[in-house]
């Protein structure tokens, strides 16, 4: 259930939407490919053809809001205020920093990357770095690879919220946070081996 907003909060939400629309109007051109969320967080893709007031239109849709757009021509984008992301989308500025971090470098296993994206956990998982929990509903990175060595198999690696934040921080903290998260995982796996 959505909590009831005060008139001030509603006004701020409307103003935030208008700011996002202005930013998008300055950038998005007909023919651009948009990826965005629709009701219920469903993700969709469409080619932008023009504006109808505050709405972005494609040939079949006329109600795409700039706040819900998360990719423009394949690149991560956000028209939201800094630090004020759409909860159904997450913070795409942070996502771009997380995705740019290669979690297994310099692993030389022969693999093919099949998918790498931020998702909401439908079931509990285990983090591939710290070996801690990825909770049901937690927004996290999921990276699916085909291991081409041996018999070959497909594996999905999950990274918890804290490890994602550490990946994003790696671009400014010289890897300090992600090194700490990795150390937690190494200690956890040693503890499992010795028991
Ligand atoms: Zn983790």
Quick one: three-class SS letters along the chain?
CCCCCCHHHHHHHHHHHHHHHHHHHHHCCCCCEEEEECHHHCEEEEECCEEECCEEECCCCCCECHHHEEEECCEECCCCCCCCCCCCCCCHHHHHHHHCCCCCCCCCCCEEEEEEEEEECCCCEEECCCCCEECCCCEEEEEEEEECCCCCEEEEEEECHHHHHHHHHCCCCCCHHHHHHHHHHHHHHHHHHHC
| Residues, CB within 5 angstroms of ligand 1 (ion) | 127, 129-130, 132, 160, 163
- Tens digits of per-residue pLDDT, 142-163? 999 999 988 889 999 999 989 9
Tell me, in angstroms, the distance from the centre of ligand 1 to residue 133's CA: 7
Global confidence as pTM: 0.64
Tell me, in angstroms, the distance from the centre of ligand 1 to residue 127's CA: 5
Q: What pLDDT does 1 receive?
A: 46
- Tens digits of per-residue pLDDT, 82-132? 767 666 667 777 888 999 999 887 778 899 999 998 888 889 999 999 999
- Higher confidence at residue 32 or residue 137? 32
Query: Residue 40: pLDDT band by 50, 70, 90 thresholds?
Result: low
Q: Which residue has the tokens 């690149």?
A: 75
**Is 2's pLDDT higher than 60?**
no
């Amino acid at each position: 259930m959505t909590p009831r907003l005060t008139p001030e909060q509603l006004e701020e939400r409307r103003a935030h939407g208008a700011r996002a629309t202005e930013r998008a109007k300055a950038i998005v051109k007909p023919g651009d490919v948009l990826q965005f969320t629709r009701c219920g967080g469903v993700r969709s893709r469409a080619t932008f053809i023009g504006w109808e007031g505050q709405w972005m239109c494609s040939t079949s849709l006329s109600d795409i809001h700039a706040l819900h757009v998360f990719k423009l021509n394949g690149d991560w984008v956000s028209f939201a205020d800094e630090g004020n992301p759409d909860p159904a989308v997450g913070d795409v500025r942070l996502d771009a920093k997380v995705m740019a971090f290669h979690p297994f470098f310099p692993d030389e296993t022969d693999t093919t990357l099949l998918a790498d994206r931020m998702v909401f956990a439908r079931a509990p998982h285990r983090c591939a770095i710290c070996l801690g929990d990825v909770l049901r509903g937690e927004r996290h990175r999921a990276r699916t690879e085909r291991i081409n060595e041996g018999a070959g198999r497909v594996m999905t690696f999950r990274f918890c919220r804290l490890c994602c934040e550490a990946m994003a921080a790696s671009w400014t903290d010289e890897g300090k946070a992600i090194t700490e998260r990795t150390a937690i995982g190494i200690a956890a796996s040693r503890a499992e081996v010795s028991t």
